[in-house]
Structure 1
């Protein structure tokens, strides 16, 4: 891109800094002088300048010490390398052929500016052209339109306005400045001027290109005299593929032929024949092609240039081949600025082994990007956006060997020009000879770009994406937006596709749900219903903001329709006593369980059918009456399930993403239900704060956002509204809308969109008060039973032929461990430098193929994470010898990942997903609504422990009663003792020995030896211990925590654990609360002081379990155990070093563990604190 600022400045920062400093001398004085000039000659400009500030633009000085403007967002400049020369050529062209509108219809056309009555200047820029035009014109009126106030601000530093304004005054010229205006009021402005002055004609000078200026010039060329004012200007609105013209198009430096290059051009004919042999569709498309917007012309040097047919503007003012070479050189010098970077910036999934690897690799990649600064000679993959006349492609391929080149050019005229400019035969021959991959995407407006490119990358290998260069050959804002969107989508393929943890839990969840009875959706062709059952009206209800407007209507007709709630909408419906018949969820991690419990509608869930896809968390399914399961395309758990039950037995949903509403619509359509209504499926927003129903968990009791949704999501896309206008949306919802439109293109589906959100093609917009529904009340149980009978299989019937009714029965788990050893052995060869990175990549790719051919589960478990790892390794293949240390860091990170996987999967293959969200809120809901009666005795005077009072007021429930006394005991149904000394031991034994039935007793903060004595003295009771190595009992202690000098666990937190650990199941368990922290400096203190606790625990260490906010020792819990408040137990791997593992897991999962490195050392895992 010739407008890339890096072409205009020195790469040597010191050299460029000298130019900037030298050129900046006197700028402040010039600015102050200009303000005085404005005050004298144009007071309005002084006010505008004083109120203006730099936003996205800024001033800089180029290699030739010329002042210019740069857009800080895009990195593109306004003018070329020699702004004054370019503007002189532009003014001279205007003098020779002005665009003139005669106000007298009989007036003769003239090529002389001197007779002009009014001059309209479209664009101020930096104002370099004003002096030239003022000198040349005899016009008495000049109107200057400039929509960008930052350009006026820039001119105030560089242009001597005193000379401009004084010269205009000397010549009797009246200047009208329309700053901030793009010319949309030009006709009314000119009419007003004509009311006061007699004008013979108007000349139009266009300084730079934007949609409004081009519209005005087009109107001026087409209409003359009075008709200029009578007919409306046809305004262009923004850029699209067909309207694109660069912003700065001065006349070319070189001589150009006026004639269009003919089709009998020898190189063109040769290229057509070349493509006919290899890309016949391209030859067929361009053999008789006619330019639509840009025509092909030649310079006297026989170089191909592009001229815009309507405006006569040239795409580039430099000699075409020189421009192509400069374009290539710029990209070759700064390739990594355009590279694809993969990483994970979230926190929710950081406990996953895959994302711990991604997080660790991110730090390494940052160091690598600082190392690699030039384009390597051998390139694995490159996407070229924009071919123009092809000269930069010629330069690129002359210097580099590319294994996979993907050429994308949305403008067919440009590719057509390249057929006259460069010889494609040696290019195509070279790719064929090397068996390299070459792909052309010509004329695509972006609609199919992603699907076409992803098809190519799957053929090459997705890991290549990390080593893919993006080469944007020319600048245009919509081009950049589409490339940015494409990058995000391609990034998903590697970084957000399937990975080890997702596959592991997806398969295990599916396995468990199928074994424990569910209903699996049949293929569409296998579904037949009696009578007109398929016309049953179905309401798909999302939780968009417009649900608030429709909630009363839905309530009024709920007995006449099947209501399908999607995600968080069930909580909103429950508040209005609307009972969904089917509820849909899509997430496979356990956070879905958390929010469903927080919705506080457990009895409603127990009467509702869950419809979900494979991978849904078993704890979620347990909340519902029945489970309808669909299989989702692209999931490893789908493939594993089909291997067990057979192909073409269950329906595979192809468009069940990215939102839960997509899953609902896809499933309902495949169930052959043809009367569908959408409510609250908005997929767009009226405002940044109205993004979900106001009755949902996204807002608090005061109607305020729980978090800043707009800040967390880029709401920068506009889509047509369902009932008109345009609404904001985000990329995920735009993709959701596109997938729905693809689904609804099927014939026979009648879908009505009653949502006040995005327009969805194929769903007829209709307001709820216009609907006509059958008056008949549905027998819901009959409808749902009919669905079960005709559209679903019982999973037990599908698994009859499967050994042990287990979809994993035909896989060997021992084989997974063996496969990991193969991966580790290969990695050792790379570390020993027996093989290169490129060889390593090929061998590891072959290992995955072998896993697949050998029917190993490892193929599915490692496919995604392996692609990510290889994508990172490929980025290292061009490192110099001196940077081998970075490669070692990457090798170590991949080895740690594989070793962790080996241990985890060998010991806990049947474990469920453990990710949670807002667990404390879930616990409060369960405690308040469903907790059994608990009587709590505390042997402390509450007045001496103010933090206890805080905890009780925050967590006390109707079934949880506290009794405080330091001396007396009473006989309660349950006991909790908070004990500071040994003197109370005898009272405890005496009180409990008098109980007729076993009691659940929790002893808090006693020495472990006292606990053992109590256990021995009271064998009939279930006695457990809750102990903490840290306490906060004073304001000073809290200050230490906030200052980062101590960790925090105070008595209020102890009481919050009481209802969680009184469960009536365990006996002899020891609970240790996790610790809070404010700075990483606290970690060393935690490590040292926790060692004392570990030593006291002694022989209870071998088995312990990790909950979100506490650990449980000395207990044997069943697999996937859930405590009484819904928190999930994750067993600690038994092969870890127990001492170090306890320390790590006593840290708060999401916060502290992110600051800890755990590394493998001879079958043990040690931990260190990450440095800042």
Structure 2
């Protein structure tokens, strides 16, 4: 099990700073000495060790020891005392083997912090040593912790020949050993020490040890494995006790009654890659290569972690808002809540565990499963690995749960279920905890997607300022644009949808060469890149509703923009419309004002798009599939990046002339994590990109007769067709015919009332509602925030029945955020002063809403 960084650093920032300062002196001294030694004795690594690590970083534990952290996950490789862990692993290795000293070959898999390296060499005195480290970042970071200078000095003194296989070179132990034996026929027996777990190397070690090429390591539910490191762990086959058999029988009976499809899968199931065993007196899972995974054993090995998850929950306390929203009143409310979070961390001595709704990611931590059953009314369990889910039927009394329990094996299934139950009112999502007791890549990706969904439902996507602007824009735009009707094109042409991802650089020359034979759609900031390369799109699309879009549009010549036709959402900022020659607007998402808005089109049915978020490229794909275009080509629609600092095209607005980032992309948009790439392998992404990618895949799947070609070296998009180089055959007359046909799909509104009157109506209704909310707050100012929130919810819900009252649309998101925070403060037993401060911050926000409505 790999613990979150939150359980390792000191929550007292001053104490943590002191720990880091104490460690910094030793880090600098050791790094300087190590760099000199490696540069002199292993010159082939000289350039590599100058590189800046991308995926990993050194973190100082609260107790002043060093640790390795996977940045994208915030997951720590070691426990609180990495040096002791390494010493214990070395001792276990030495105890299990009789090591001859003559011409010994020692293969070490994984460098890590490097505490194990020198002790191994000193105890075994090998003649040859081969280090394998597939992650170059880890070698670079080990310069801050490992005794490289002493190790290289020792090798020189003892005549030990050292080889380092790094990155892509660390891929074939057998081939390297064959080469070594050819060069040195007298090389002795080979011994393997596996410090870090890399499945392809671990499989090869097993195959060599057992002369069995038929078995491969299962993909472990962890990114590295140090506590259980050697090839032959001492496990005990599980002889099922009466209690375990009875637990299994009752769980199956529960599944037969409540989830029959899963029952059919599991009632006669046979182990596939893992099986349940006993290891170090704990339940564990062992794969066919005898590798062991045990959350319980790791917990016992590393000691009890702090149970402060509810007070540190990113779902509630870490809204990652775009930079342009940091000056909004909603952002100020969030910042104030963030400050109050520190007080509940201090005050919550008895850490609360109970929440109404819980999503449990993974079933391998049996203790966490038990606590989830005890401390929830609604429990949704995601376990992608059937072996692990099957094992939990013997070890976890799921059948005892009195609330609503459901098992899922796909992230998409979880998303669909919580979305449907939220829309139907079965789930509130305000008193919810996404429980991730251990790190595993698929579960970690799921965590970020679910976090985005819950935050979006609780104000992030529909807070007051955003809703207020949308309503204003809807009415102002009616007389200045035409709107997409529910019809389809009769003409066809290849549509090139151009995003601003790094793959745009790969295809820009192709687009220039074939420009006349395709319909070119620029999306958002891709327009900057196209202009810099002498290209003018047929249509430009925007999804952002705010006036800040003008910031990058103003970087382009006004004459260039005046030749363009804009396609945008119906609630786009009116100032954006003014810079384009023609404006084609589309009804996007199912909002509460849609019916009121469409009443102005008495003779036409407007097309309603429901998959046009989170990015403008989602908007483009949804639009052109919906009107019947048969072939779409995605260019620069990466939804990911191979390098942390190459997240957009090089000519985009995100980079300065010298190639440096305009701002810290990762810091602003959240940590990146690994997903499958379009042409195989992996790439990095962030949660908002990943949500958009999955949504686009869902939309493409709805149109199986149409083709969407993904031409990008970025993330894989479900249901799209990977295509490295577009291949089009089209004429200029065909593209012109399509453009003429496309314009016939748009119509003007039949205005029956001036937009000023419509705007005044919803403002007056909104003022009345917010005054009621403020009055409710003032009358109950000394009550618990969760009680105040419930009263205000009743007030807001009462406005739904009125057709002309848009108060629910305006305030639902912001009130849901207050409900979520209030619920968490209640669970964490926040003190009276903290609750009062929260209410005052909420009051200030409502006063701001009232002021905006009165302008």
The TM tier, using the shorter chain, reads 0.7 to 0.9
Is the 2:235–2:277 Cα contact (8 Å) retained in structure 1?
Answer: yes
C-alpha deviation, 1:43, in angstroms: 8.1
Is the 1:831–1:888 Cα contact (8 Å) retained in structure 2?
Answer: yes
Query: In the alignment, which residue of structure 2 is the partner of 1:871?
Result: 820
Is the 1:499–1:861 Cα contact (8 Å) retained in structure 2?
Answer: yes
- Residue 890 of structure 1: SS of its match in structure 2? helix
Query: In the alignment, which residue of structure 1 is the partner of 2:249?
Result: 269
Is the 2:252–2:267 Cα contact (8 Å) retained in structure 1?
Answer: yes
Distance in structure 2 (CA, Å) of the matches to 1:764 and 1:216: 31
Q: Deviations over 1:1121-1142 (max 9, x none)?
A: xxxxxxxxxxxxxxxxxxxxxx
Is the 2:236–2:277 Cα contact (8 Å) retained in structure 1?
Answer: yes
Residue 274 of structure 2: which of 294, 297, 314 is its match?
294
C-alpha deviation, 1:622, in angstroms: 3.4
Q: Does 1:821 align with 2:764?
A: no
Change (3 A) 1:646 1:490: farther
Residue 540 of structure 1: which of 494, 497, 511 is its match?
497
Query: In the alignment, which residue of structure 1 is the partner of 2:742?
Result: 787
Q: Does 1:518 align with 2:481?
A: yes
* Equivalences for residues 970-981 of structure 1 within 5 A: none
Query: In the alignment, which residue of structure 2 is the partner of 1:77?
Result: 78
Distance in structure 1 (CA, Å) of the matches to 2:471 and 2:715: 35
Q: How many residues align?
A: 821
Query: In the alignment, which residue of structure 1 is the partner of 2:437?
Result: 473
- Residue 534 of structure 1: SS of its match in structure 2? coil
Query: In the alignment, which residue of structure 1 is the partner of 2:466?
Result: 502
Distance in structure 1 (CA, Å) of the matches to 2:150 and 2:826: 51
C-alpha deviation, 1:347, in angstroms: 5.1
C-alpha deviation, 1:630, in angstroms: 1.4
Q: Does 1:832 align with 2:811?
A: no
Change (3 A) 1:807 1:705: farther
Distance in structure 2 (CA, Å) of the matches to 1:61 and 1:793: 64
Distance in structure 1 (CA, Å) of the matches to 2:407 and 2:94: 40
C-alpha deviation, 1:214, in angstroms: 0.7
Give the structure with higher Rg (CA): 1
Structure 2 residue runs of 5 or longer lacking an equivalent are none
* Equivalences for residues 529-608 of structure 1 within 5 A: 533-543=490-500, 561-570=518-527, 580-602=537-559, 605-606=561-562, 608=564
Question: Mean alpha-carbon deviation: is it higher for 214-223 or for 582-591?
Answer: 214-223
Q: Does 1:223 align with 2:211?
A: yes
C-alpha deviation, 1:506, in angstroms: 0.9
Q: Deviations over 1:215-248 (max 9, x none)?
A: 3312313538xxxxxx9x9998xx9567877432
Query: In the alignment, which residue of structure 2 is the partner of 1:641?
Result: 597
Distance in structure 2 (CA, Å) of the matches to 1:438 and 1:848: 31
Q: Does 1:285 align with 2:240?
A: no
C-alpha deviation, 1:454, in angstroms: 4.7
Query: In the alignment, which residue of structure 1 is the partner of 2:622?
Result: 666
Question: Mean alpha-carbon deviation: is it higher for 855-864 or for 615-624?
Answer: 615-624
* Equivalences for residues 878-917 of structure 1 within 5 A: 878=827, 880=829, 883-905=831-853, 907-908=854-855
- Residue 588 of structure 1: SS of its match in structure 2? coil
Distance in structure 1 (CA, Å) of the matches to 2:199 and 2:826: 45
Change (3 A) 1:361 1:513: same
Is the 1:5–1:70 Cα contact (8 Å) retained in structure 2?
Answer: no
Change (3 A) 1:838 1:878: same
Query: In the alignment, which residue of structure 2 is the partner of 1:376?
Result: 352
- Residue 407 of structure 2: SS of its match in structure 1? strand
Residue 211 of structure 1: which of 183, 199, 219 is its match?
199
Is the 2:679–2:716 Cα contact (8 Å) retained in structure 1?
Answer: yes
Distance in structure 2 (CA, Å) of the matches to 1:19 and 1:689: 30
Distance in structure 1 (CA, Å) of the matches to 2:449 and 2:734: 47
- Residue 261 of structure 2: SS of its match in structure 1? helix
Residue 237 of structure 2: which of 246, 258, 270 is its match?
258
Residue 179 of structure 2: which of 188, 191, 199 is its match?
191
Query: In the alignment, which residue of structure 2 is the partner of 1:1036?
Result: none
- Residue 776 of structure 1: SS of its match in structure 2? helix
Residue 330 of structure 1: which of 282, 286, 305 is its match?
305
Query: In the alignment, which residue of structure 1 is the partner of 2:393?
Result: 419
* Equivalences for residues 1104-1119 of structure 1 within 5 A: none
Q: Does 1:844 align with 2:844?
A: no
Is the 1:389–1:417 Cα contact (8 Å) retained in structure 2?
Answer: no
Q: Does 1:651 align with 2:607?
A: yes
Change (3 A) 1:740 1:838: closer
Structure 1 residue runs of 5 or longer lacking an equivalent are 96-111, 225-230, 432-436, 909-1172
- Residue 416 of structure 1: SS of its match in structure 2? helix
- Residue 731 of structure 2: SS of its match in structure 1? coil
Is the 2:569–2:586 Cα contact (8 Å) retained in structure 1?
Answer: yes
Change (3 A) 1:896 1:203: closer
Distance in structure 1 (CA, Å) of the matches to 2:682 and 2:384: 26
Change (3 A) 1:639 1:505: farther
C-alpha deviation, 1:685, in angstroms: 5.8
* Equivalences for residues 606-625 of structure 1 within 5 A: 606=562, 608-625=564-581
Is the 2:2–2:222 Cα contact (8 Å) retained in structure 1?
Answer: no
Distance in structure 1 (CA, Å) of the matches to 2:68 and 2:640: 33
Structure scoring higher RCO (CA < 8 A, sep ≥ 6) equals 2
Residue 733 of structure 2: which of 751, 755, 776 is its match?
776
Is the 1:305–1:315 Cα contact (8 Å) retained in structure 2?
Answer: no
- Residue 491 of structure 1: SS of its match in structure 2? helix
Query: In the alignment, which residue of structure 2 is the partner of 1:145?
Result: 131
Query: In the alignment, which residue of structure 2 is the partner of 1:316?
Result: 294
Question: Mean alpha-carbon deviation: is it higher for 680-689 or for 416-425?
Answer: 680-689
* Equivalences for residues 938-977 of structure 1 within 5 A: none
Query: In the alignment, which residue of structure 2 is the partner of 1:404?
Result: 378
Distance in structure 2 (CA, Å) of the matches to 1:590 and 1:31: 51
Is the 1:592–1:620 Cα contact (8 Å) retained in structure 2?
Answer: yes
Distance in structure 2 (CA, Å) of the matches to 1:559 and 1:499: 43
Change (3 A) 1:277 1:203: same
C-alpha deviation, 1:629, in angstroms: 1.9
Change (3 A) 1:779 1:704: same
- Residue 305 of structure 2: SS of its match in structure 1? helix
Is the 1:117–1:202 Cα contact (8 Å) retained in structure 2?
Answer: no
Change (3 A) 1:477 1:643: same
Question: Mean alpha-carbon deviation: is it higher for 191-200 or for 815-824?
Answer: 191-200
Change (3 A) 1:419 1:889: same
Change (3 A) 1:537 1:57: closer
- Residue 376 of structure 2: SS of its match in structure 1? strand
C-alpha deviation, 1:589, in angstroms: 1.2
Query: In the alignment, which residue of structure 2 is the partner of 1:1151?
Result: none
Q: Deviations over 1:631-666 (max 9, x none)?
A: 111544436435776999322212212222322222
Is the 2:503–2:712 Cα contact (8 Å) retained in structure 1?
Answer: yes
C-alpha deviation, 1:299, in angstroms: 7.8
- Residue 281 of structure 1: SS of its match in structure 2? helix
